[in-house]
Homo-oligomer: A and B are copies of this chain.
Amino acid sequence: MNKKLFVAGLALALGAGFTLNAVAQVKPEILVKQRQAAMTLQGKYFGPLAGMAQGKVPYDANTVARNVGYLQALSHMPWDGFNPSTSGVKSQALPAIYSDAAKFKEAQDRLTGAVDKLAAASKGGNEGAIKAAIGDVGKSCGGCHESFREKQ
Q: How far is the CA of A10 from the CA of B52 in the complex (A)?
A: 12
Q: Contacts of A76 on B, CB cut-off 8 Å?
A: 70
Cβ–Cβ < 8 Å partners of A39 in chain B: 15, 17
Q: Which of A1-46 contact B (CB under 8 A)?
A: 1, 3, 6-7, 9-10, 12-23, 33-34, 36-44, 46
B40 adjacent to A142 (CB under 8 Å): no
Take A12-B142, A34-B41, A73-B73 as given contacts and tell me if A63 and B22 are in contact as well, using a CB distance cutoff of 8 Å: yes
A141 on the B face (CB < 8 A): yes
Task: List residues of chain B with CB within 8 A of the CB of A60.
Answer: 22
Q: Knowing A22-B63, A145-B13 are in contact, say whether A77-B41 is a contact too (CB < 8 A).
A: yes
Q: How far is the CA of A72 from the CA of B16 in the complex (A)?
A: 22
A48 within 8 A of B: yes
Shortest Cβ distance from residue A89 to the other chain B in the assembled complex, whole angstroms: 15
**For A20, A44, A63, A70, which residue has the most chain B Cβ atoms within 10 angstroms?**
A44
